[in-house]
Amino acid sequence: MRSPPETSELDTPSRILMGPGPSMIHPRVLRAMSTQALGYMDPSFLEIMDDIQELLRYTFQTDNEWTLATSGTGTAAMETAIGNLLEPGETMLVRTTAYWGDRMAQMARRVGGDVASLDVSPTEPLDPADVREAFEAHDVDVFGICHADTTTGIRQPNMSELVDIAREHDAYTIADCVTSLSGVPVHVDDWGVDVAYGSPQKCLSSTPGATPLTINERAREKIEARDSDPASWYLDLNLLMEYWGDERNYHHTPPTTPYYGLREALRLVAEEGLENRWERHRRVAGELKAGLEDMGLEMAAAEEHWLPSLNTVRVPDGVDDTAVIQFLMDEYDIEIASGLGELDGEIWRIGCMGYSARRQNVACLLTAMQDALE
């Protein structure tokens, strides 16, 4: 017999989370998540799901009937979107040079799709002229766009224009709104995107595990008319919607506690109001940006593409980026992150999301940063 390992009751350090996610969980969300479980067919639980759907429609600004929470993290929602919308042999257009675009491309290939690469700089927003050119060069079925890039801190403008280009070519659009949903304006119906997903653990300040996803009628019709079933049974939207829709057929046991958390997080969005929430992110992150610039630091993203929920700051010459990150953690209990991929060592990534997006956190971070750089 193997003997039981020695462990102690959970006792985590108290951190201020200002990295690229997760953000700090709102206390009301934490309270909701300490609620006892319910069976997945309990009428009270089904009501919670209905609430989540209605609140998500508000948060995404959509009337889409197919609006749900996927069991898993943002990557699961991304894989659900691609695995259902793209059929084997079809072509997906993505910016393969960017971190999230590359992840989308890998998923597209795994479901038997072809990838058309938008081989453009990952540190600039997509230019509609490049997108149009790519659509003219390839027979594209699905176009993937990252609305808010957590690796570069850039917000993609012209969403409607990009979607229109796809529509003119009879293609469908998937928008990654993981780092934008509820932090900066997202208008799913006005943009006309066919599928969009967000994240519970970024600007919503809930826990990973139940991820927002919405699909419009046009995409739904394509998914319902597929020639072959999606490769993943777990992420098959036609089956999932039999549980989220009127049939209420068992598919898999939903992650109860993350649903409770997501519902409360979305209620907080509704109470604050989307416009106020966007304005708060802009104002608080604006103070952060101004404070960093006053210290002589330079923001990596251009002002016009700045993403308040994720601020990228250039590491000054001669400064060890990881030493600063460690100092903030050791001395101030603050988490920020280094750059990913090509930007490793070049930038810091400072999140300002949801419950973390508060003036007291920004003031603390600015003090800590000043101290670290002295």
Query: Binding residues for ligand PLP, per CB under 6 A?
Result: 20-21, 73-75, 78, 100, 146, 150, 176, 178-179, 199, 208
Tell me the C-alpha distance between 180 and 61, whole Å. Answer: 13
In whole angstroms, give the CA distance from residue 298 to residue 200.
30
- Where does the chain show beta strands of DSSP type E? 16-17, 66-72, 91-94, 114-117, 142-146, 148-149, 154-155, 172-176, 195-197, 209-215, 310-314, 334-335, 337-338, 347-351
Smallest distance, ligand PLP to C-beta of residue 310, A: 8
Compare residues 123 and 179 and give the one whose CB is closer to ligand PLP.
179
Q: C-alpha distances in angstroms, 121 versus 118, 124, 152, 310?
A: 9, 6, 11, 19
- The answer to whether 48 and 259 have CB atoms below 8 angstroms apart is yes
Minimum distance from residue 95 beta carbon to ligand PLP (Å): 12
Nearer to ligand PLP, 22 or 138 (CB): 22
**Which amino acid does the sequence have at 323?**
A
The distance of closest approach from Cβ of residue 100 to ligand PLP in the complex, given in angstroms and rounded to an integer, is: 5
Q: Rounded to the nearest whole angstrom, what is the least distance from the CB of residue 272 to ligand PLP in the complex?
A: 22
Q: Which is nearer to ligand PLP, 180 or 256 (CB)?
A: 180
Q: Is 118 helix (H, G, I), strand (E, B) or coil?
A: coil
Give 20 or 254: the residue with its C-beta nearer to ligand PLP.
Answer: 20
Q: How far apart are CA 126 and CA 120, in angstroms?
A: 8
Nearest to ligand PLP of 21, 138 (CB atom): 21
Of the pair 115, 138, the CB lying nearest ligand PLP is at: 115
Locate all alpha helices (DSSP H) within 128-255, ordered by sequence: 128-137, 159-168, 188-191, 217-224, 237-244
Closest approach of ligand PLP to the CB of residue 79, in Å: 9
Nearest residue to ligand PLP by CB is: 74
C-alpha 104 chain-centroid distance: 13
State the minimum distance, in angstroms, from the CB of residue 199 to ligand PLP: 5
